[in-house]
Structure 1
Amino acid sequence: MKDAHTGLHSEQGALAGEHPGRAISPVVKVHDLAWLEFEKPDLDRAELFARAFGFAVALRTAGELHLRGTRAGAPCVLIRQGSRSRFLGPAFRAADRADLTRLADAAGGAVTDLPDHLGGQTVDLTDPSGLRVRVVAGTHDLAALTSPAPLVHNFGDEAPRINAAQRPPRAPATVQRAGHVVLQTTRFRRTLDWYLEHLGLIVSDFLYYAGQRERGPVMAFIRCDRGRTPTDHHTLAMALGPSDRYVHSAYQVADLDVLAAGGEYLLDRGYRRSWGIGRHIQGSQIFDYWRDPDGFLVEHFTDGDLFDSALEPGWAPMTASGLAQWGPPATKDFLGVKPGRQSITELRAIAGALREDNEFDLHRLRGLLKVAAS
């Protein structure tokens, strides 16, 4: 029997003339994801899920909720009271305040102060898909919180744990930090190039539709460029699709035991797993995906790849089976084809996108449908 993963791994490189995965002279090079911003109508409900997921609360007022991990730094997620649930956009951390001025000059924006409880300054930009993108500097750093001590493991012949049982608690999977956000856009190439040119991000892996490689990639896993300092395999991932929308965001936990026991804790409280547990191919993360009460997809991950700037992009076909090295098959919920409100919204988006002038045409739709069936 042929291995379903043969040929899917991203060690394959680019062909002559394909996208280089980086800009020659970007305006700035951001250092990391700072936070993500949302609006939700019920902050009590959002806080209840957030604590069960493993966040700590950094700030709670009548109209605002800030969620943090154990690492020192800014909050991971800012949630404001709103009439409906929606994703407002990501914030990236600049190397310094001077980068904000360079970005403002290049994009025709302005450097403005953030609220006192966050500190620092921001340049608010708009990417080609219409999403607000903040680049921030000088924000207040929250002090580190106590994080669970790592378990002592017996691996093969290495057995440091003697006369001691392993008893990881079934408790919230303590979030350490924000890892990445995944976005969908109808203007993939324009939006990808905007992030590379303005924020200095570089591509770790490209995916393309089988039989359509000559038309270019339809997904990119994109990391920060900090030279010889390793960074996450992707801080931002972007896929071509029939609508401009948030797909999911991911938050690091300490290890597999924390991730798995935290998942049992969520299940015990009636929350819905979308897909997992498994290990990805692009990025190698062990993952577990959940739907929050507002329908947003969020991920626990651990053991992800770290790349420095020397690695060039990998290229691989996009398939549903190629999303994981091991684990259960990708679910209909994760793929967005589960019958219900989500799939109806996606069908309407497809009909609308095909009537507009963008990169999502009938040829691309056929490629996407093959992915869902693969």
Structure 2
Amino acid sequence: MSTPKTAHEDLHSEQGAIRGDRADRAKNPVIKVEDLAWLEFEKPDLDAAERFAHDFGLVTAYRDDEAIHLRGSLAGSQCVVIRRGRSSRFLGPAFRAASRADLQRLARATGANVEERRGPGGGAMLRLADPSGMALKVVAEIDQLPELPHRAPLDLNFGRVTRVNATQRPVREPAWVERLGHVVLETPTFNRTLDWYQEHLGLIVSDFLYFPGQRDRGATMAFIRCDRGSTPADHHTLAMHLGPSRRYVHSAYQVADLDAVATGGEFLKDRGYKRAWGIGRHIQGSQIFDYWRDPDSVMVEHFADGDMFDDSVEVGWTQMSASGLAQWGPSVTANFLGAKPSAHMIRDLVAALRDDDNEFDVRRLVGLLKVATR
């Protein structure tokens, strides 16, 4: 019989926590959300947004003149809502609470009001903002959309022969997104914002990363999962990293298997879209990944075969590096890292370094620059 491994004994991280490290979870959170429900965006051209969404593998569940509600093939709520707006921008995530009673408990803790949702899905919600100023919703009692037909994982002759007198001919087509997996955000108030998600939504950190040479200053990135007790949850539903901006980085959508990732990517390439990075396999989360940019340069990811953790797995700690983002695959690209700063990013950097109320200082900037070279 094998001995169970801790998080830092080859399970998912180089090392575990040491004395004085911040906790991976709150002792008594207000509620424990069950999952990420959906993400909300604004786009000026809903037709173009819908075309890309369909090419990416999402399905329209509902559309009117002002919004598109997109879904995956598995049963559940919509996973992306795109509203008509003047520019392309991220509005915020929505998390799913277990019940209306949880919404009421969270409302008492935050001073917000429980509202009835109008439009597709119904239910109830709270409108909140985290300490960095990111808007978010927590929802409950949302109508569940039925499962749609979707492609099953291919029958593979790995380990034992299961496919005889049959060939593999996966079709080059949209990747048949099954569900929303996670969203990654940047924040200049990393610790305060992480505290808020742990204390209010009951999220657990699966892995902490820290800037090179700055282990003593603590974590600068967290991969965070929902606490479902003994029921496994995605390695991360939310990931956050310290940076000069408060912004969306990317979101990820599960597909059936490696062939779905690959053929879906070939389809996107044939349609003229730009790959940001891939195909490879991550370390934190282990998922096979492929990153793309939509026509407005918003980054989205197809993934398959991600880690699932229950609440018993302890947190891992690892130094952040560009080379440490993948186990295999092409070298990380400047497109993925955002290594070509825009005027907006430069303004955010200058503002962050001047603001004493955030956690991004000159030493943190030096650490962030080192990440790209390691």
The TM-score normalised by the length of structure 2 is: 0.96
Map of 1:135-214 to 2, 5 A cutoff?
Answer: 135-156=138-159, 158-214=160-216
Instruction: For residue 8 of structure 1, report the CA deviation from its aligned partner.
Output: 12
Question: Which amino acid in structure 2 is aligned with residue 215 of structure 1?
Answer: R
Which 4+ residue blocks in structure 1 deviate beyond 6 angstroms?
A: none
Q: Structure 1: give runs of 5+ residues left out of the alignment.
A: 1-6
Map of 1:200-239 to 2, 5 A cutoff?
Answer: 200-239=202-241
Question: Which amino acid in structure 2 is aligned with residue 49 of structure 1?
Answer: F
Q: Could you tell me which residue of structure 1 aligns to residue 282 of structure 2?
A: 280
Match of 2:109 among 96, 106, 110: 106
Q: Could you tell me which residue of structure 1 aligns to residue 61 of structure 2?
A: 58
Instruction: For residue 348 of structure 1, report the CA deviation from its aligned partner.
Output: 2.4
Q: Could you tell me which residue of structure 2 aligns to residue 3 of structure 1?
A: none
Q: Could you tell me which residue of structure 2 aligns to residue 361 of structure 1?
A: 361
Instruction: For residue 347 of structure 1, report the CA deviation from its aligned partner.
Output: 2.4
Distance change in 2, residues 1:369/1:8 (3 Å): farther
Question: Which amino acid in structure 2 is aligned with residue 348 of structure 1?
Answer: R
Instruction: For residue 210 of structure 1, report the CA deviation from its aligned partner.
Output: 1.4
Q: Deviations over 1:28-70 (max 9, x none)?
A: 0000000000110000000000000000000111111011001
Between the aligned partners of 2:329 and 2:150, the Cα distance in structure 1 is 27
Alignment partner of 1:333 is 2:332:
no
Instruction: For residue 151 of structure 1, report the CA deviation from its aligned partner.
Output: 1.2
Question: Which amino acid in structure 1 is aligned with residue 19 of structure 2?
Answer: A
Match of 1:128 among 103, 126, 131: 131
Q: Deviations over 1:200-220 (max 9, x none)?
A: 000000000111011110000
Q: Deviations over 1:160-202 (max 9, x none)?
A: 2122111000000000000000000000000000000000000
Match of 1:119 among 111, 118, 122: 122
Q: Could you tell me which residue of structure 1 aligns to residue 293 of structure 2?
A: 291
Q: Is the 8 A contact 1:8 1:322 kept in 2?
A: no
Question: Which amino acid in structure 2 is aligned with residue 179 of structure 1?
Answer: G
Instruction: For residue 9 of structure 1, report the CA deviation from its aligned partner.
Output: 5.7
Q: Could you tell me which residue of structure 1 aligns to residue 345 of structure 2?
A: 346
Between the aligned partners of 2:230 and 2:99, the Cα distance in structure 1 is 18
Between the aligned partners of 2:139 and 2:169, the Cα distance in structure 1 is 41
Q: Is the 8 A contact 1:8 1:316 kept in 2?
A: no
Q: Secondary structure at the match of 2:346?
A: helix
Between the aligned partners of 1:116 and 1:57, the Cα distance in structure 2 is 15
Question: Which amino acid in structure 2 is aligned with residue 362 of structure 1?
Answer: V
State the percentage of identical aligned residues. Answer: 65
Between the aligned partners of 1:210 and 1:247, the Cα distance in structure 2 is 21
Name the count of aligned residue pairs: 364
Between the aligned partners of 2:294 and 2:21, the Cα distance in structure 1 is 38
Q: Deviations over 1:260-304 (max 9, x none)?
A: 000000000000000000000000000000001111110000000
Match of 1:36 among 33, 36, 39: 39
Between the aligned partners of 2:149 and 2:300, the Cα distance in structure 1 is 23
Alignment partner of 1:304 is 2:306:
yes
Q: Could you tell me which residue of structure 1 aligns to residue 371 of structure 2?
A: 371
Q: Secondary structure at the match of 2:125?
A: strand
Q: Deviations over 1:224-273 (max 9, x none)?
A: 00100000000000000010000000000000001100000000000000
Between the aligned partners of 1:125 and 1:282, the Cα distance in structure 2 is 29
Q: Secondary structure at the match of 1:21?
A: coil
CA RMSD of aligned residues (A): 1.2
Between the aligned partners of 2:150 and 2:22, the Cα distance in structure 1 is 41
Between the aligned partners of 2:308 and 2:338, the Cα distance in structure 1 is 29
Q: Is the 8 A contact 1:65 1:80 kept in 2?
A: yes
Between the aligned partners of 1:53 and 1:209, the Cα distance in structure 2 is 33
Q: Secondary structure at the match of 1:35?
A: strand
Match of 1:248 among 240, 247, 250: 250
Between the aligned partners of 2:152 and 2:112, the Cα distance in structure 1 is 44
The TM-score normalised by the length of structure 1 is: 0.96
Between the aligned partners of 1:72 and 1:200, the Cα distance in structure 2 is 24
